[in-house]
Amino acid sequence: TSIKLVRNIPSGSPTLKDFKVESVDAPTKSSLQPNQVLIRTLYLSCDPYFRGRLSGTRDSYVASFEPGKPIEGLGVGVVEASTSSKLSEGDLVTGGAFLWETRFVCADSAVTKVPSNTGISPANYLGVLGMPSFTAYVGLVSLCNPKAGETVLVSAASGAVGQMVVQLAKARGLRVVGAAGSDDKVDFIKSLGADVAFNYKTCGDLQDAVKKAAPEGIDIYFDNVGGEFLDVALKNMRPFGRIAACGMISQYNATPETAYQLKNIVNIVPKKVSIFGYIVTDYYSKPDYKKFIDEVSTKLKEGKVNYKLDEVVGLENAPQALLDLFEGKNFGKRVVKITDS
């Protein structure tokens, strides 16, 4: 099975009709060129940045998907056949160019071997030990210089990135305020140690809710959503506040007519706020990556980190699994399970 994009979608909301589920012949061992591997896909990652890749424009930081070609993204799988000296049959591998296919062929350089038989689900390489978690680390730790006693506000706090921000911040002695779009998500954020958490869909006026949760103001805002949330955060920043501009999912499907216009941007000046826009892929080659892996893998072994995966089963369900992200229908890191092993 293969999932292909039907057309580019410059703005507005993608729908299931924009994806085609196709039966294709599985690649065979005999079709491998030198230094290639045939991979059996175990899990694929659904990520909000895909929205930029569906758009057909070149202003996204990753190239757009091409209509008629399979979707590609982060994944984890098992090497079924190899002509590479670096990878052998049975190796567990991860990488950012997994095709949305049950089996596919790629260059050995496109994937990295990861430990297998560790007792943890391979899906963790897409979550707690993967890109979203590192994104949390870079935004909070590398860029915002958090200090014990400070207050951090986290939007989409139960999501793939947000749940790790909450835990990294608590581990550093911050006061954590988390927001999410359902009561179950709010309970989960509290279970991770957040000092205050609220449902932004039912809280009434967002400014009142943030003011109540952080009466003294916000030192760090970890922005996953943009739009009105960012605007309210800007209004409540303390002097020398920092904003990790991680993502703005509330705006990804916006059209020029519906895009949110910020009203409180002027506060940046008197409050001397720093805003850090960043893309996580720039940080894998920096010392931050090793520090992140050391901290989180140690905590994982000690049972001191809790990371929620949200599995959808079956490649044919991957398009809906992706679209769900933009409606908050995921709860935790959304992955698509193709097969267990």
Sites of contact with ligand NDP (CB under 6 A): 47-49, 132, 135, 156, 158-162, 180-182, 185, 224-225, 246-250, 278-280, 325-326, 328, 330, 333
To ligand NDP, the closest distance from the beta carbon of 25 in angstroms equals 33
To ligand NDP, the closest distance from the beta carbon of 312 in angstroms equals 13
Whole-number Å distance between alpha carbons of 279 and 327:
23
To ligand NDP, the closest distance from the beta carbon of 60 in angstroms equals 11
To ligand NDP, the closest distance from the beta carbon of 67 in angstroms equals 22
Looking at beta carbons only, is 77 or 247 nearer to ligand NDP?
247
Under 8 Å between Cβ of 3 and 19: yes
Looking at beta carbons only, is 266 or 284 nearer to ligand NDP?
284
Looking at beta carbons only, is 246 or 338 nearer to ligand NDP?
246
Looking at beta carbons only, is 289 or 326 nearer to ligand NDP?
326
Give residue 138's Cα distance to chain centre: 13
Look at the alpha carbons of 316, 321, 323, 324 in this order and tell me if their dihedral is positive or negative. positive
To ligand NDP, the closest distance from the beta carbon of 234 in angstroms equals 16
In 3-state terms the chain splits into helix, strand, coil percentages (rounded to 5) of 30, 25, 40
Rg of the chain, C-alpha, whole Å:
20
For the chain, give me the number of helices (H) and strands (E)?
A: 9, 15
Element (H, E) at 53: helix 50-53
To ligand NDP, the closest distance from the beta carbon of 283 in angstroms equals 9
Looking at beta carbons only, is 225 or 243 nearer to ligand NDP?
225
To ligand NDP, the closest distance from the beta carbon of 135 in angstroms equals 4
Under 8 Å between Cβ of 189 and 199: no
Q: Residues of 267-279 as b/e, b for ≥16 C-beta within 10 angstroms?
A: beeebebebbeee
Amino acid making up residue 303: G
Looking at beta carbons only, is 28 or 255 nearer to ligand NDP?
255
Under 8 Å between Cβ of 143 and 278: yes
Q: Residues of 200-209 as b/e, b for ≥16 C-beta within 10 angstroms?
A: beeeeebeeb
To ligand NDP, the closest distance from the beta carbon of 327 in angstroms equals 6
Looking at beta carbons only, is 83 or 251 nearer to ligand NDP?
251
Give residue 194's Cα distance to chain centre: 20
CA distances from 142 to 135, 170, 173 (A): 10, 16, 16
